Structure 1
Amino acid sequence: MSPEELLSIWTELAEAPPTAAGLQRIRLEIDAAADIFACIFWPSRRPGLLIEGEGAHRPAGDRIPACRGVRMVHEILPGTEPRTLLRVMLAEEDVSDIFAVMSADLVAATATQPSAASALRRCIDRLCMWQGLFEKIPAEGLSEEKQRGLLGELLVLETLFLPRMSEIEAVDAWTGPDPAHQDFIRGGLAVEVKTSLAKRHARIQIANEKQLDDRPHEVLLLAFLRLDESATHGDSLPAAVARVRQRLGSAPGATQALDDRLAMSGYLDVHAPRYVRNRWQCSERRYFRVEGDFPRLTEANLPAGVGDIRYSIIADDLGEHEILEDEVSAIVGETDG
């Protein structure tokens, strides 16, 4: 069930007159232990989902996650055979595109569960994930700077990790969307990815004092990608996403893991048409080993009481720490997760 299919169903349901039941609904034709309906809720005429199943099932702590622009209601119908209902409905029109993507994800996650109880639990777990995403993802999509940063991480995933390990291992190594301090972590190796549009004296922006701290890792590498705007030969972010998805093919779990990480990065396919006009070509890729006297600020060399810092380093001044891509490839190939 795609977001576009759900939007079409909601449009059709909205054209019907209101009913005494307070909603128009249609059962989604999927083989699932729980009953899953696409709905239009009256009188607000808002689209949403109704997921229900046998038994009284309560979320941990009786807490239903709350997402910006989305209303969620958990209800248990009493009786000799109680039923649990979970209503998820759009509350603010400006997040309707994201809501459609979330709803399609909820349907996919719920439909694979073997019982109504596990389906409802899985749905609530996915809602918890989306709770954070709704706060992170602007309704208009990612800024150009965020697009470039994500493109850089995908290029490193594609060229450095995917050729040297299994698909799921490579995707699992991508920690950039998680609250990790480096973008890739695999065994004792960590790789931080930075991009820049500057032709000369490019400044590499470092977000905090832990980003270039090699102490938790056996090897810490800084990958620097110089991107040039190119309307003809460059990569758009959706093109890079499509290429990596194709590379993963049908590898078990890898495509879903990639899509989860893309969502955590703020990337949704529904925004892809807004991104295709922005294209960049990677004109230079350099790797630096972060150790010893590499220019950086870390917790170890900050004065007492100083923290939460941001600073920059000059890429052209890091020559003595540069290592060749063949050596980088060997390091990645030797990592043991």
Structure 2
Amino acid sequence: MTSRVRDVLTTAWQALAGGSSGDREWRALRIELTHRLQVFAAVREADGTRGVLFECPIANSPTWRLRFESEGLHLTDDRDGRNGSRRITLALERSDLDAVFLVIADDLIESSRMAGNDHDAVATLGAKLAAWQTCLKLRREGFGQERMLGLYGELAILDLLSSAVGTARAIEVWSGPERGLRDFEAGPLAIEVKTSLGASGAVRIGSLDQLDPRGLHRLTLCRVVVVPDDAGVGLVDLVERVRAAASAAGPGIRTVLDQRLLMSGYIGAGERDAPFEPLSILTIESYDVCGDFPRVTRETVPAAVLSAEYRLYLGTASRNMLTEQEFRELLMSFGVGG
């Protein structure tokens, strides 16, 4: 994301805060940039709350209303039948979220700029708001060491998949951020990724369904083993490497990747401030989840057990481990139908 829009918004909000009061709900300055929608920085008359407004003719926009729920941020989607206009307003209700609000406003403006018409621009706003809602919810729950490790492992496998089947296809089958049951899914194939800090063979399984291969031709469990290493790669740098590959594949591919990163709880360079050290990948183990592979599923527990999380020690599953060649062939198979 670029800082130019953020600078323009900040300057506009400062100018509006020093302006004279009026009788409208919002004092607003139009942001001068190429965009299908009219975009305004705004300050609410009543209390000085900052906002960003998007306007377009009702006739050119989708019929459904945009929805967004997040503590400290408020969305309104108003239609004025008298002048045929639609106004979408995102307002900052808590000053401690100022930095996040600026990033969100920038992202909404920049991502919707690429739309070819008003309808698609509003639809892009809706998709981005949904992704941000998921992101902020995950961060309220805590984007700590475990979540960062999990994302690191998924991106490591995404990087390998990109080499095997191309960046566009690899991002297409990355389903975990969209609350997919497994991290990568392509028709009858699925990969579930677990990341271990150190050589311990135990991984956390999040549900009774995660290692249930029913309905699949092949389910593979990958364990990415990482160790702290000052000469290694941090999460931010790994993200930027994957982003660079996505950008090279095309702007639409980069857009999808950024949305899925948001839905993973990842915002951006601020993660440098998180307690997450550079890592090196020690090894990647992969296991066919079939036959007598150790696991707990709905078929193996009483019907009264509705859900379960458990830790699985993979040291007993060596018979199911794939060779490096078998793992490469598995990754290649995700390109079929792409």
Q: Distance in 2 between matches of 1:29 and 1:301?
A: 61
Q: Which residue pairs with 1:173 in the alignment?
A: 173
Q: Distance in 2 between matches of 1:190 and 1:204?
A: 18
How far is 1:293 from its partner?
0.2
Q: Which residue pairs with 1:142 in the alignment?
A: 143
Q: 1:53 touches 1:117 (CA, 8 Å); kept in 2? A: no
Which segment drifts farther, 312-321 or 272-281? 272-281
Matched, 1:75 2:73: no
Matched, 1:242 2:240: yes
How far is 1:276 from its partner?
7.5
What amino acid does structure 1 have at the position aligned with 2:106?
A
The SS at the match of 1:157 is helix
Q: Distance in 2 between matches of 1:42 and 1:147?
A: 41
Q: Which residue pairs with 2:333 in the alignment?
A: 334
Within 5 Å, give how 1:1-337 maps onto structure 2: 2=2, 5-6=5-6, 9-11=9-11, 13-15=13-15, 16-20=18-22, 21=24, 23-55=26-58, 64-79=67-82, 81-138=83-140, 142-159=143-160, 161-200=161-200, 202-230=201-229, 232-252=230-250, 253-275=252-274, 278-335=277-334, 336-337=336-337
- Structure 1: gaps spanning 5 or more residues: none
How far is 1:177 from its partner?
0.8
For normalisation by structure 1, the TM-score amounts to 0.88
How far is 1:19 from its partner?
3.0
- Structure 2: gaps spanning 5 or more residues: none
Q: 1:220 touches 1:289 (CA, 8 Å); kept in 2? A: yes
Which segment drifts farther, 204-213 or 36-45? 36-45
What do the CA deviations read for 1:273-321 (whole angstroms, capped 9, x no partner)? 3248522221122111110000001122222221211111112222111
How far is 1:245 from its partner?
1.4
The SS at the match of 1:148 is helix
Q: 1:18 touches 1:42 (CA, 8 Å); kept in 2? A: no
Could you say if the C-alpha distance between residues 109 and 206 of structure 1 is closer, same or farther in structure 2, counting changes exceeding 3 Å?
A: same
RMSD: 2.5
Could you say if the C-alpha distance between residues 12 and 26 of structure 1 is closer, same or farther in structure 2, counting changes exceeding 3 Å?
A: closer
Q: Distance in 1 between matches of 2:220 and 2:119?
A: 45
How far is 1:114 from its partner?
3.7
Q: Distance in 2 between matches of 1:245 and 1:213?
A: 32
Identity value in percent: 25
Q: Distance in 1 between matches of 2:5 and 2:313?
A: 48
What do the CA deviations read for 1:47-101 (whole angstroms, capped 9, x no partner)? 221111233678756564333211222333343x422222211111232232222
How far is 1:271 from its partner?
2.2
**Size of the alignment, in residue pairs?**
332
Which segment drifts farther, 282-291 or 44-53? 44-53
